[in-house]
Structure 1
């Protein structure tokens, strides 16, 4: 029987100028895929270059984390961006990161929307289609990392792009398998032990307990660990150790 496998991804490069939110170097020693901010919700040229270099040194896959143009709101405010404009901005972000990934001897291996764009593309067909159009415009047929059953995955599959299902150990789920909005109490699971337990259950059984108490199917190939929370590095190490102890192979999907 084939052993279970899971990718660990984290949002990295989330800062600009003198402001740094994520412990990039430390997290890159734990995760297998790095969702690198491309300048629209966070990140700048110097940060992108450094994170790509560190990721390449460690064999960590580099992903473009594309967002609405929303530095002030950290990309967590939903915006009504025309489809053609959003497609161009997605391609722009991928292209910017590709320069630094290739300069480091690596490549952009996948695309993942961030924040409000990620959540909007779960149900909004037009915005999901615009993200896919942006990926196609950037070229390369990149895999799209996202929530299972989302409109984003449906549109990506229709366009012939590979889709990769993702789960979140530190986010609360609704009974429909979507993430509880961050505006609601309990949306983020802050108890470290609970996060570790959920991660192992997701990787080994493919389920999570929703806020309603129901068991929800979350079979995923990649597990997201948020890098902008307190104690993120130590929690990520603990999650990885627990997964490996449970017989799960931690390796990149891309």
Structure 2
């Protein structure tokens, strides 16, 4: 690998990830969390003693993620929720008196990606009002804190789920083979050739002189700035021809009697 070539990212298997919601009070948050999960390709939802589930509100808020709710696992305690998990990460907005490994969501995604494949990972989310208890946080290998606005850092639990699973999704996208396409599909025209652009710049300079926009005796940096503008845009052959065509039409217009 060359020094300039980016390192290959480790992939994350969505089947290894389980989102665990602990003692959720409002069933609508369960539905919203299911929606957040499905949009990011995750399906394993575990609910620890929810106050109201299944419920019509949960399904209504899921907005098409009913399958995630249909297969959600409801358990009585945290032990059952995180059974067999080799990595447990707890979402926490609270500081603790006992130092504990603390990461942000992006670092959390890196840690999940580095975790051995096939070993389940649990992301814990606590109660709407109080979050996870100290005892529950003590079950976690690390805590993750979303660096929100310090003046208003209150995140709804479903919003917190969305932030976390988004970072996992982005980490997965980075691990997939990358194409040079910047626009979603292959660009439809080849880039303008150097000689084509030089012809465009020459034509532009002559036209600007003709319309008294450029003083050939005192050009300053005008043409260099135009050159910088066009080169930064990296036009393709058709776009360069369009610009030449516009200049040709300007030329014709200023020569009319």
TM-score after normalising by structure 2:
0.37
Higher helix share: 2
| Greater C-alpha radius of gyration | 2
Higher strand share: 1
TM-score after normalising by structure 1:
0.37
